Amino acid sequence: MSRKHQKKNDIPDRWLDYSAVGRRLPGTRFIAFKVPLNQALTQKLPASAAFGPWELLDAVSRERQELGLIIDLTFTTRYYGPQDLPESMMVVKIATAGHHIPNDGAILSFKRAVRNFLRQNQNNDTLIGVHCTHGLNRTGYLICRYLIDVDGMDPAAAVNLFNSSRGHAMERQNYLDDLHHGPKRSNAGMEESGAEPTRGQATSRPTPTEPPRLNAAAGYRSFPPNVNSWPRPQHDRPRPGFPPPFQQYRWGAPPPHDDRRRRPHPERNQFRPPPPAWRPAYTPNEGGRGPAPQPHPQYSPRWAAGEEDWTEDWTPPGRRQSSRGGWWQNGQEF
C-alpha cells in the first residue's frame, strides 16, 4: 500500500489531542469543533473517542442548542460527505489550505455564508458550526476575522473569546499576527448570495460495526481458533453415514467446582500412579537385609544382685546356647 493511499484512510494527525466540540461563543451564533469523521474512519477508534456527524448532533443537543449550518474549511473531502450527514444538517464547503493565511476570496465566501444564514434565520437561535481539521487555527482565524471586520470587535478580545470557548488556544503565530496587526478585510459584496448549502442525506444513524477480532498490533489471535471454519482437504471432509474426522483442538468447559475439591480417585485419574503393594518393614528370611534384631532379655534373679554377667542365665525362648557364645535354633546358629 502506497503512503498516499495509507494516509487517505488514516485518522488525521493529532486529531485525538483536541476536544470534540467547544462551547458557543457568547453573543454570537458560532460554535467550533474538530472535523467529524465518517463511519469508515471512526470504526478504527474506540467507542469513547469516536466523533462523527451523529455524535456532533448529540453533543449540541445536550447543550439544548440546535445546529442549523456547518461551514467546512478542510482542504479535502475524505472525512465525510453529504451521505454521512443527517437530513437536518446543512453544510457549506469552503476549501481552505492549512498553515497559510486564508486569501480574500475564502474570507469573503465565509462572510457571505454567515450573512445569508443570519438573514434567513432571524426568528430562531440556531447555531453556525465551523470546523477545519482540528477546529482551531483556520476555524479561529475566520471566526475572529468576521468578528473584527463585521462586528467591529477588538482583535485581542475576539481571540480571547474564541480561545476560551473552544477550550484550546490558537497555535499558528502567522494567524495571530495577522489578526492583531494585519489590516481589516473589505466587506464589499458580503450581502450577495454565496454558495447554496447542501443538505445531508442520511436518514438514520449507521449501525456500529464489530471491530476486527484479530489483534494485528500484537500479531496473535485473542480467541480460540475456529477449526471448523478452516478449509479442509477433500479426503478430510465428513461424509454421510461416517463419523466426523478427529479434531486436534477441543475447547471444552472447565470441570465443576466440586470435582476440583474432590480427592482424585485412582481408577478415574490415569495420571495418578497406583499405590505400592503392602510389605512388612523387615522379613527375617529375606537375604541381604542384615542381621536380625536382638530379642528383649527376660527377667533373671541375678539382675537384683548387681552381677554383671547376668546374660549367661538368659536364653531366648525355644533356643539353646552354643559353645561359641551364640544360640541354636532349627539347625542354624545366630
Q: Catalytic residue positions? A: 132, 138
* Long-range own/partner contacts, residues 143-149 (CB < 8 A, 24 or more apart): 143/25, 143/30, 143/32, 144/179, 145/102, 145/107, 145/110, 145/179, 145/185, 146/110, 146/111, 146/114, 147/28, 148/179, 148/184, 149/107, 149/111, 149/184, 149/185, 149/187
Nearest to 144, CA basis, from 117, 118, 182? 182
Tell me the CB-side half-sphere exposure of residue 249, using CA atoms within 13 A.
8
Cβ atoms within 10 A of the Cβ of 148, count? 20
- Phi, psi of 70, deg, nearest 5: -120, 130
Cell numbers representing residue 283 in the block = 522379613
